[in-house]
Chain A
Amino acid sequence: KAGVTQTPRYLIKTRGQQVTLSCSPISGHRSVSWYQQTPGQGLQFLFEYFSETQRNKGNFPGRFSGRQFSNSRSEMNVSTLELGDSALYLCASSLPGASYGYTFGSGTRLTVV
Chain B
Amino acid sequence: AQTVTQSQPEMSVQEAETVTLSCTYDTSESDYYLFWYKQPPSRQMILVIRQEAYKQQNATENRFSVNFQKAAKSFSLKISDSQLGDAAMYFCAYRSASSNTGKLIFGQGTTLQVKP
Give the one of A90, A94, A102, A109 with max B CB within 10 A: A102
The reply to whether B106 and A55 form a contact with Cβ atoms under 8 Å apart is no
Q: Which of B95, B96, B105 has the most CB of A within 10 A?
A: B95
Closest to B50 in A: A101
Q: Distance (Å) between the CB of A95 and the closest chain B CB? A: 10
Against A, the Cβ 8 Å flags (1 = close, 0 = not) of B100-116 are: 11111111110000000
- Range, interface on chain B: 20 to 34
A42 touches B109 (CB 8 A): yes
Instruction: Give chain A residues whose Cβ lies under 8 Å from the Cβ of B100.
Output: 55-56
Q: Which of B20-28, B41-49, B77-85 contacts A (4 or more CB under 8 A)?
A: B41-49
How many residues from A make CB contacts under 8 Å with B?
26
Given A98-B95, A98-B97, also A48-B102 (CB < 8 A): yes
Q: Do B91 and A98 touch (CB < 8 A)?
A: no
Contact A102 B44 (CB under 8 A): no
Interface string of A70-85 (1 = CB under 8 A from B): 0000000000000000
Q: Are B96 and A98 touching (Cβ within 8 A)?
A: yes
Given A43-B91, A45-B105; A99-B45 close (CB under 8 Å): no
The 9 closest A-B pairs by CB, nearest first: A104-B45, A43-B106, A101-B47, A106-B44, A98-B97, A107-B43, A31-B102, A42-B108, A48-B102
